[in-house]
A and B are shown apart, each in its own frame.
Chain A
Amino acid sequence: MKEFIQRVGGAASGMVIPNIGAFIAWGLITALFIGPGWAPNEQLSSMVGPMITYLLPCLIGYTGGKMVYGHRGGVIGAVTTFAAITGTGSIQFFGAMLVGPGSAWVLKKVDGGLQNSVPEGFEMLYDNFSLGIVGLGTAVVTNIGLSPILTAISDGLGNAAKGLVDSGLVPLADIPIEVAKVLFLNNAVNHGVLTPLGAAESAEVGKSIFFMLEANPGPGLGLLLAYWFAGTGMWKSSAPGAIIIHFFGGIHEIYFPYVLAHPIMIVAMWAGGISADLWFVATDAGLVGPASPGSIFAFLSMTPSGGFGGVLGGIAIGAVASAVVGTILLKARPIAETDAGVEEEIESNIPTV
């Protein structure tokens, strides 16, 4: 089960992660040039809408197609994604994740059946027109046939997300998120689910809390601080270096072993994550675009003007809460460590789903 989720989540996040740079460019343009931004500029802010509506989903559809069938798969994936966007009239990240790889798979099958029987000298003609004609087909089918389904999916997800925010239950989402993270589902959760939801929300209201639920570096910082204060042996001595990589470099994976080796520490992560999210909700905080990797610098660059209190407050509260709870836990139930026994200890404590 865990491997299945890792695999599906890996496919979804694998379509988004190579394009995060474009999300960040869009986030920076938005943060700077829209009406309430740092340097409002009507001419430059005209890029914001088209980029999120067309460019970013098409990049995801391209990457999804490329994963299935190389560059040709990417091209038909982008073509078909465009059909999904105009067919539904909405921002189609999840649609792109479906039709991008799907259309590439169709082209791969068609090529597999025909490519070997192309006469000499007609290869280029075949390559260009087979992609063009299959692309015509997948685009028409998507635009007319799949659009109602894609609309239903994105409406359903969007409404569920909105309902979660409106009901104030967002902090509870932290309970599964923290567990998923340390099971190496961090990118699957963040970029497979939260980044698309956040981008859709941010396009509407200018910022989104979804960008911060998984990526907040505060709780992980607190956990590592707890190990630095109250840990023992190699766990204590490695904590400061891990803090730099985690908090400034944004590689959250560095703290996962500190939870996996001593699973009760997940409680410290929950304490940090939930209290940070409560603060985010209370102050109506959000980021403009995805903070990836989850470094403090990425957070600062994606904070909307006037939003620093909410964003930095949540990071600080998350760090303090998980540091305090983590220290208490480590005092009450010290991590078992003998020089020879560390590996076995870690091994026997890796949770299985």
Chain B
Amino acid sequence: MSSIEASEVKKICLACEAGAGSSLMVKNSLIKKAKKAGIEVEIVHSPATQIPADADIVVCHKGLAGVAKSSAPEGSVLIQYLMFMNDPALNKLIQDLSEGNQISST
């Protein structure tokens, strides 16, 4: 089970199957939430098979967790969500980042 201190998070990657549709949509909503909370961290999106090697946190839907796990960089934290809008896991991620908590894989 990987975990990371909020202060060490530099890059968050949203992964979906194609890296073109839903990951882009969830990324933009996450960027908005992060901006609102005053969090400065790079948020990108990619296909689940091509996650960038410098991602600290990988975020994807539960249905793609298996693929994302095998392409995510070693030691990165994997956050899984269920709903594409207002998922509690995403809200918790923003909360943890802004409060400086430790963030663990789900």
Question: Measuring CB to CB, which residues of chain A are less than 8 angstroms from any residue of chain B?
Answer: 2-3, 6-7, 10-11, 13-14, 17-18, 67, 182-188, 191, 238, 241-242, 245, 249-254, 256-257, 260-261, 293, 343, 346-347, 350
Contact = CB atoms under 8 A, between A and B. Distances in A.
Contacts of B48: 6, 10
A17 B47 CA distance: 11
Given A6-B64, A11-B49, A251-B25, A346 B82 contact: yes
Contacts of B37: none
Interface stretch (B4-12, B15-23, B93-101): B15-23
Given A256-B63, A257-B82, A245 B25 contact: yes
B47 A14 contact: yes
Closest 9 CB pairs of A and B: A253-B22, A187-B18, A3-B66, A184-B63, A254-B84, A10-B49, A17-B18, A346-B82, A6-B67
Given A257-B82, A343-B88, A350 B62 contact: yes
Contacts of A245: 25, 84-85
Contact of B21 (A7, A253, A347, A350): A253
Given A18-B20, A251-B22, 19 more contacts: A3-B66, A10-B49, A11-B49, A13-B17, A184-B64, A185-B17, A187-B17, A241-B85, A242-B84, A245-B85, A251-B25, A251-B84, A253-B22, A253-B61, A257-B82, A257-B83, A260-B82, A343-B82, A347-B62
B86 interface: yes
A184 B47 contact: no
B18 A13 contact: yes
Interface string B57-82: 00001111011001000000000001
Contacts of A184: 16-17, 61, 63-64
Nearest to B88: A343
Contacts of B18: 10, 13-14, 17, 187, 191
Chain A CB count within 10 A is highest, among B66, B83, B86, for B83
Contacts of B86: 238
A254 B86 CA distance: 12
Interface of B: 16-22, 25, 47-50, 61-64, 66-67, 70, 82-86, 88
Nearest to B49: A10
Nearest to B20: A17
A253 B66 contact: no
A7 to B, nearest CB: 6
A288 B20 CA distance: 22
B48 to A, nearest CB: 7
A347 B62 CA distance: 9
A238 B85 contact: yes
Contacts of B64: 6, 184
B84 to A, nearest CB: 5
B47 A183 contact: no
A242 to B, nearest CB: 7
Chain A CB count within 10 A is highest, among B16, B18, B19, for B18
24 contacts: A6-B17, A6-B67, A7-B49, A10-B17, A10-B47, A10-B49, A11-B49, A14-B47, A14-B49, A17-B18, A17-B20, A182-B63, A184-B16, A191-B18, A238-B83, A251-B22, A251-B25, A251-B84, A254-B22, A257-B83, A343-B82, A343-B88, A346-B82, A350-B62
A6 B49 CA distance: 9
Contacts of B50: 14, 67
Nearest to A8: B49
Given A7-B49, A260-B63, A186 B17 contact: yes
Chain B CB count within 10 A is highest, among A10, A11, A182, for A10
A11 B70 CA distance: 15
B2 to A, nearest CB: 20
A193 to B, nearest CB: 14
Contacts of A293: 21
Contacts of A188: 17
A245 B21 CA distance: 11
Nearest to A190: B18
Given A186-B17, A253-B22, A347-B62, A3 B67 contact: yes
Chain B CB count within 10 A is highest, among A185, A188, A253, A261, for A253
